[in-house]
Structure formats: C-alpha cells, structure tokens
C-alpha cells in the first residue's frame, strides 16, 4: 500500500474596480490524497481533491479523480471505476479532450478534471499499438463557478450551479443520471510520433446551450447527447521541436421536433430552439526547447479554430474559438526546481478577447511548494456577456503554498 498527498492554502485577490454582488478575494484550503495497492495482476487506486473557501462556500467542492480496481494480464487491461483520461496534445486548446467533467472554477486553459465512472478495456496487440473501449453508464456533469465569483460565466449574481437540463440520444429531456455512453480509441506509436483516433457518444459536459426556464424564470443550461470523432498527433524532432495537432468533429443529437420539445419542457432560447451547432474544431502548434546548461527555455506557439457553425454560437462551444497562444517556460536546473511560465492568448477574430497568465513556482525544502502569479482577462463590452466575455472582470493575483506528504 502506497499513499501520498498534499494540502495547500490558496489565496487570491481580484484587481480592478469592485463588481457589485461578487467576492473580491478568496482564501481556500485545498487537499488531495492518493492511495494505491498492487498485488500480482491486480491494482487499486484512489485519488481525489477537495476545496473549501472561507469567503464563498458556494465555491466548495469535493471530487474523485480516480477510484478504480484494475486487472492486467498479458496484452489485456481491464479497469472498473472512476478515472481521468488525457487525450489532449496541446497546451491550452483541447478540442479532443472532452470525456471528463471539469471544475470550471479553476484555470481556464486547463480546468481540473473530475473522474468519470467507467469500464475501460485495453488491448495491446503489439508494441506501440493499443485499442481502448470505454463504457460509461452515468451522466456526470461539470461543476460551475459560484454566482459570487468574478470567474462566473454569466453576469454577476447569476447562478449557473444546478441549472443543467439533460437531453438523451433521442433528443428527449431526461432527469435520469444513467444512460448508455461509449468511446473507442486507437493509439499508435511510430518512432517519435504518437497518433490516436477515437469515436465517442456521450452526454456533453462542456458545451451547454443557454436557455431560460419559463417555469422558474431562472437560467437553464441545455446539455445534449453528442457524437464526436477526432484525432490527436504529437511528434518530437531531433532539433528540440515538438509538433502537436488535435481535431474533433461534434454532432449534437437534436429532437425530431425542436420547437415542440422546447415548449413541452418550458424552455426559451435566444435563437431557434435546439439550434444546429454541429461543428469542427482544430488545434495545433509547436514547442521549441533550448537547453542552457543551467536550465531550459521552451517557446510555445498554438492556435485553435472552430468552423462549420454560425458565429453566434461560438461562445457556447469554446472559450477560445479563434485564438492563438504565445507561451514561454523557463525551468532552472536547481534543487528547488524553480520555473516561470508566461502565456498570452488573443482571439484573432475578436481581438478584444485576450488572456494573460504569468506564474512562478519553486520547491521549498523537501515538503513545500510555492506558486504565485497574475492572471488577466479582457472581453468584449456586450449587454449580456457569457463565456469568455463574462471573465473580463476576473483579473487577479494568486499565491498558493503546498505541503506535500
């Protein structure tokens, strides 16, 4: 039996003018625990995290990341329980990495993942080739920010927590938390290149359509069952360049009569009921690492684009619908593992949308890590901002002290 974990104090202070109805500071206690046990072909693993905020209890969360048992023998591996999959090749844009639910009150370029209950079977017929089958029986949903948070995806005070309306593969409303979902993924390594192809049908967790619940007068978030197919690719070159690509096409399974379904469920949409939002997303880029002897520098260039869908729906599909990222990492070869990261993201179609992140991290002795930085957002000045535009009030500094055990 092996166990490890961490406990952290997280502090953040939002900058700029005060926003009525929101909390301008945060002070949270964060914890993560991981335990594992292995005997012969059997393995069990548990990992989860929790966060409790002193100023805003609606930010509190407890979630499992992993909680599974696994049997491995020969070319086969069978895993049952909650798990996290990482299908992304890129730094900040993740069109192919949509299986897991997220905690949306975390870093926008890499939201915290929540473990998905599943049966996962992997067959490895040869070195460098693997075929995976995932069966997922539960409709797990993402956790939205507090209505008092300046990182909320709607106007201040608008509560998006618990406002999910789920529609199954027949396009009908369901209040059940179970349903058939599955994914199939093929992975192939060729030299220094890694390629994967996948197909999936599941209840969407990341691309809700905003609506109004006429029965309550409150916002509703319409999640539909989707079918998705995609590709990820990475290749390392001898000169220190890493090439990355991922792409996905998503089909939303709509009701046969969208207007009648909306009326039956007392839902009003800003546009047509259950609009056609089928679309493709593609993201790619390069990393170039330079060794200095005393450390290393990595230059990052990435871009993402959505196509095949009306621009009015972009904010419901991605925080970065037509964006480019310029990034830099500086890692020092020292005992305290000091590192500096900087990233600037801008929407080339809507240049008012910008994001900047500067972070510093270092170890303190054997048991502590210090993280600190500044995050800034700029959005369009629109009457009812949603998605990225709503984050324009979210500039903040943060300091986190982690104790490892």
- CA–CA distance, 133 with 39 (Å, rounded to integer): 24
pLDDT at residue 348 above 90?
yes
Count of domains forming the chain: 1
Task: List pLDDT tens digits, range 162-207.
Answer: 999 999 999 999 999 999 999 999 999 999 999 999 999 999 999 9
Q: What 3-state DSSP class applies to 396?
A: strand
Name residues whose C-beta falls within 8 Å of residue 270's C-beta, 6 or more positions apart in sequence.
210, 211
Residue with token string 């100023």:
55
d(CA 59, CA 147): 9
Q: Give the other-Cβ count within 10 Å of 49's Cβ.
A: 20
Q: What letters, b where the CB count within 10 A reaches 16 and e where it falls short, cover 31-46?
A: ebebbeeeeeeebbbb
Give me the percent of the chain exceeding a pLDDT of 90: 92
pLDDT single digits (tens) 272-312: 999 999 999 999 999 999 999 999 999 999 999 999 999 99
Residue 18 has pLDDT above 90, yes or no: no
Contact 340, 329 (CB under 8 A): yes
Residue 382: predicted pLDDT: 85
What angle (nearest 5°) sits at the alpha carbon of residue 322, between those of residues 317 and 324? 125
User: Residue 227 and residue 366: Cα distance in Å, rounded?
Assistant: 46
Per residue in 206-258, pLDDT tens? 999 999 999 999 999 999 999 999 999 999 998 889 999 999 999 999 999 99
Structure tokens at 14: 């939002």
Two tokens at 77? 């591996």
For residue 387, give every residue at least 6 positions away whose Cβ sits within 8 Å of its Cβ, in sequence order, or none.
153, 315, 316, 319
| Of 334, 346, 400, residue with least CA distance to 378 | 346
Taking 90 as the threshold, does the pLDDT of residue 146 lie above it? yes
387: left (phi over 0), alpha (psi -120 to 50) or beta: left
Confidence of residue 62 (pLDDT cuts 50, 70, 90): very high
pLDDT band for position 156 (cuts 50, 70, 90)? confident
| Cβ-count burial 225-240 (b if 16+ within 10 Å, e if not) | bbebbbbbbbbeeeee
Give the H/E segment covering residue 308. Answer: none
Range of the domain at 74: 2-404
CATH number at residue 373: 2.40.160.10
> How many C-alpha atoms does 102 have within 13 Å on its Cβ side?
20
As given in the structure block, the two tokens for residue 404 are 């490892």
Task: Decide if pLDDT at 264 tops 90.
Answer: yes
Can you tell me the mean pLDDT for 249-269? 97
Output the pLDDT for position 265. Answer: 97
Instruction: Determine the pLDDT at residue 387.
Output: 87
Give me the mean pLDDT over the 24-47 stretch: 96
pLDDT at 67 over 90: yes
pTM: 0.94
Structural contact between residues 339 and 361, judged by C-beta atoms closer than 8 angstroms: yes
- pLDDT number for residue 20: 85
DSSP string, 14-74: E-SS--TTS-SEEEEEEEEEEEEEEETTEEEEEEEEEEEESS-GGG-EEEEEEEEEEEEET
At 352, is the pLDDT very low, low, confident or very high (cuts 50, 70, 90)? very high
């Amino acid at each position: 039996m092996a166990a490890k974990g961490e406990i952290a104090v997280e502090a953040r202070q939002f900058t700029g003018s005060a926003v009525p109805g929101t909390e301008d500071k945060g002070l949270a206690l964060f914890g993560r625990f991981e335990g594992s046990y292995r005997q012969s072909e059997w393995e069990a693993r548990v990992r989860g995290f929790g966060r409790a905020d002193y100023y805003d209890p609606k930010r509190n969360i407890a979630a499992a990341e992993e909680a599974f048992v696994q049997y491995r023998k020969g070319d086969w591996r069978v895993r049952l329980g909650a798990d996290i999959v990482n299908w992304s090749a890129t730094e900040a844009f993740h069109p192919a990495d949509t299986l897991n639910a997220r905690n949306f009150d975390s870093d926008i370029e890499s939201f915290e993942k929540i473990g998905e209950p599943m049966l996962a079977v992997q067959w490895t017929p040869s070195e460098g080739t693997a075929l995976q089958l995932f069966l997922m029986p539960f409709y797990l949903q993402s956790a939205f920010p507090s209505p008092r948070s300046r990182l909320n995806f709607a106007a201040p005070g608008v509560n998006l927590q618990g406002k999910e309306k789920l529609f199954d593969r027949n396009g009908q409303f369901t209040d059940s938390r179970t349903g058939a979902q599955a994914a199939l993924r093929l992975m192939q390594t060729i030299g220094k290149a890694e390629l994967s192809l996948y197909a999936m049908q599941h209840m969407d967790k990341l691309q809700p359509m905003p609506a109004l619940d006429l029965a309550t007068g409150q916002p509703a978030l319409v999640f539909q069952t989707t079918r998705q197919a995609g590709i990820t690719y990475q290749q390392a070159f001898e000169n220190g360049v890493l090439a990355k690509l991922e792409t996905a096409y998503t089909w939303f399974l709509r009701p046969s009569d969208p207007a009648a379904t909306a009326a039956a469920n007392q839902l009003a949409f800003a546009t047509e009921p259950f609009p056609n939002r089928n679309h493709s997303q593609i993201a790619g880029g390069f990393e170039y690492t330079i060794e200095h002897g005393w450390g290393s520098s990595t230059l990052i260039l990435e871009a993402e684009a959505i196509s095949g869908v009306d621009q009015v729906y972009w904010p419901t599909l991605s925080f970065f619908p037509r964006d480019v990222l310029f990034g830099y990492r500086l890692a020092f070869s020292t005992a305290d593992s000091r590192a500096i990261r900087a990233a600037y993201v801008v929407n080339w179609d809507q240049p008012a949308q910008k994001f900047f992140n500067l972070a510093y991290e270092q170890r303190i002795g054997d048991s502590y890590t210090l993280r600190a930085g500044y995050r800034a957002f700029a959005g369009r000045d629109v009457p009812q901002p949603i998605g990225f535009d709503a984050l324009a009030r979210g500039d903040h500094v943060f300091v986190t002290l982690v104790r490892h055990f």
